[in-house]
Amino acid sequence: MDQTRIQHTQICQIHSKKKIKYLQVKEIANDANKSVLLCNECFNEDLDSKAKDIIKISQIIEDGETQIISKWPPLEDQEITKKLKQQMESLESSNSILKKINDYFTVLKNEVMNEIDMCQKKMINQAIELPFIKDQLLKQYQQISQISKLRQLILQGQESSFEEHQSSYLDISNISNVNSSSSSDKLMQLISNKSNFCSEQFLKQVKDILDKVNPVLDKIEFENMHSQNYKPIQFSKINLDQIFSSSEKFDLLNQLQEADVEELINLLKKRIQFQDKKIYETSQTYKQSTNYQESNKRLSINKNSSKKIKIKVDQPNYFGLYKDWDINCVSQNILEKQKKYIFRIKCDVIQPEVLFNIGLIQNESIDKIQGFKDKLSCRFMSLQNKIKYQGGCGIDKITKGFDFEIDKNSVFELRVWIEGQQLEILDYPDYQNKIELIDQNKHYLDSYQDLRIYLYLFDNSVSYQLVEAYTVEQFDF
């Protein structure tokens, strides 16, 4: 049996048949000569003992190396131990942090590779559509010149009589001298367009060759030369600046190198930086300074590793008069009337039939009355797997959806524009439900001064997560 087990089973010096169960913290600090190890009988006989001055021996043994014990060491003010415990609960283990880092970069790599694949496919499609790349030009030449037929005729010449060979060759070369010149000119127009930037020397060489094969060219039918519903570009009417601008787009086909990948990564970084710039420093969004029914002593507000604010009632560590009373939780910042705000809030409920409110409260009310009495909030109730609108607190005009009944894991999106008298709640990200401030209450947005975000809490059966908070130029819809 190990030493901790021996100590745990010590016998009380006063009640010889009873095992030691408790450590009396208060006496350690006040009287070194008085026994601080108590059994159940000692605890019952000491009428002055209080729960806050007693620690279970089993708690020290089981949790002493893995957790912070709330009442140890004995201090005049246990606020330090309380804050240390809250801070520890909000932190994560090193393995969890490393996993999040690896997951983040795995997702980032996949996004980058997906973007590169899309660029590659797009450029390949553009290349296929180009009219005068090498393969297509060769194909057109073979079709126009009938070189394949001539080659086949020569290869089969030994198997045919001289007369048959002569007749076939004349058939291929039988052309009209009248139209030969016009056929050659039309081909030259296609080859010599300004988009190819061909030199005069090259064009002259091509023209000489085409003149030599004029007998073959006359068999080309130019009536269906261009695709249906398309007309040839009149390059004579396009200046060099326009041509260079178009040429730059085609240059991308030969430039998918490291610079392109680096530019793509920079674009992704700029997107992330833009989003970070929009989002507030959410750790400053909520405060505990309201004195309404000692809300400042009963609230627990912490920021987790993903920068989300978690708000809950610290029921176990509060011993005051208002343990079973509701709480006003309000934002640190007063909302500016001309700005358009979006707040995304998740409500975590651990039991059914719990009521909670989301909305606004005027600064004058935060220390005096329940926030929903300002008539600028919306009341919801948790069911088994759903959250359902209850009504009666101001935001009661359903404009989308039926009865605003959503999944319990959904996020609420609160939209606020005081100057435009716009106060509404939607389900994010589906946006299948929408509920607005009723018309007869909109005058409160003008008459109330210094409005703040308001959340209603009662006990630890419900908590909130502030997921995002930012301003926009315009609401999407």
Highest mean pLDDT among 110-124, 141-155, 308-322, 368-382: 368-382
Tokens representing residue 94 in the block: 């090193």
Q: How confident is the model at residue 120 (pLDDT cuts 50, 70, 90)?
A: confident
365 pLDDT exceeds 50? Answer: yes
pLDDT tens figures, 251-295:
544 554 555 556 655 655 554 444 444 444 443 444 444 444 444
Dist CA 275 CA 137 (whole Å): 48
- Residue burial 414-424, b: 16+ Cβ < 10 Å; e: rest: bbbbbeeebbb
175 pLDDT exceeds 60? Answer: no
Whole-Å CA distances, 146 to 164, 268, 296, 339: 18, 52, 92, 73
Handedness of CA 69, 71, 77, 82 (dihedral sign): positive
Strand positions, DSSP E, 83-192: none
Tokens representing residue 288 in the block: 């505990």
Q: Tally Cβ neighbours within 10 Å of residue 451.
A: 24
Any idea which of 94-103, 336-345, 357-366 has the lowest mean pLDDT? 94-103
Q: Find, among 378, 382, 417, the residue nearest to 399 by Cα.
A: 378
Dist CA 119 CA 125 (whole Å): 10
Q: Which helix (H) or strand (E) holds 274?
A: helix 258-278
Which of residues 99 and 163 earns the better pLDDT score?
99
Predicted pLDDT of residue 25: 77
Predicted pLDDT of residue 407: 87
Predicted pLDDT of residue 394: 95
Task: With beta carbons less than 8 A apart as the criterion, state whether 459 and 324 touch.
Answer: yes
Predicted pLDDT of residue 45: 77
User: Angle at CA 338, nearest 5°, toward 335 and 342?
Assistant: 60
User: Chain centroid to CA 291: how far?
Assistant: 36
Predicted pLDDT of residue 375: 95
| CB-neighbour burial class of residue 282 (10 A; exposed 0-12, middle 13-18, buried 19+) | middle
Predicted pLDDT of residue 276: 45
Highest mean pLDDT among 222-226, 417-421, 463-467: 417-421
Tokens representing residue 113 in the block: 């590779």
Q: Which helix (H) or strand (E) holds 79?
A: helix 79-90
Amino acid found at 53: D
Instruction: Give 369's contacts (C-beta < 8 A, 6+ positions apart).
Output: 292
Highest mean pLDDT among 171-180, 198-207, 335-344, 462-471: 335-344
Whole-Å CA distances, 39 to 56, 62, 74: 10, 18, 20
Dist CA 56 CA 67 (whole Å): 14
Residue 115 carries which DSSP code? H
Dist CA 403 CA 423 (whole Å): 18
Q: Give pTM, 2 decimals.
A: 0.42
Amino acid found at 23: L
Q: What is the mean pLDDT of residues 390-416?
A: 91
Which of residues 471 and 2 earns the better pLDDT score?
471
pLDDT above 90: percentage of residues in the chain: 15
Dist CA 246 CA 90 (whole Å): 56
364 pLDDT exceeds 50? Answer: yes
Residue with tokens 């400053």: 284
Task: With beta carbons less than 8 A apart as the criterion, state whether 57 and 49 touch.
Answer: no
Predicted pLDDT of residue 278: 44
Which of residues 346 and 48 earns the better pLDDT score?
346
Q: What is the mean pLDDT of residues 175-184?
A: 47
Instruction: Give 24's contacts (C-beta < 8 A, 6+ positions apart).
Output: 35, 36, 37, 38, 49, 53, 54
Dist CA 140 CA 146 (whole Å): 10
- For the chain, the average pLDDT equals 73
Instruction: Show the domains of the chain with their CATH numbers.
Output: 3-90 (no CATH), 130-238 (no CATH), 282-472 (2.60.120)
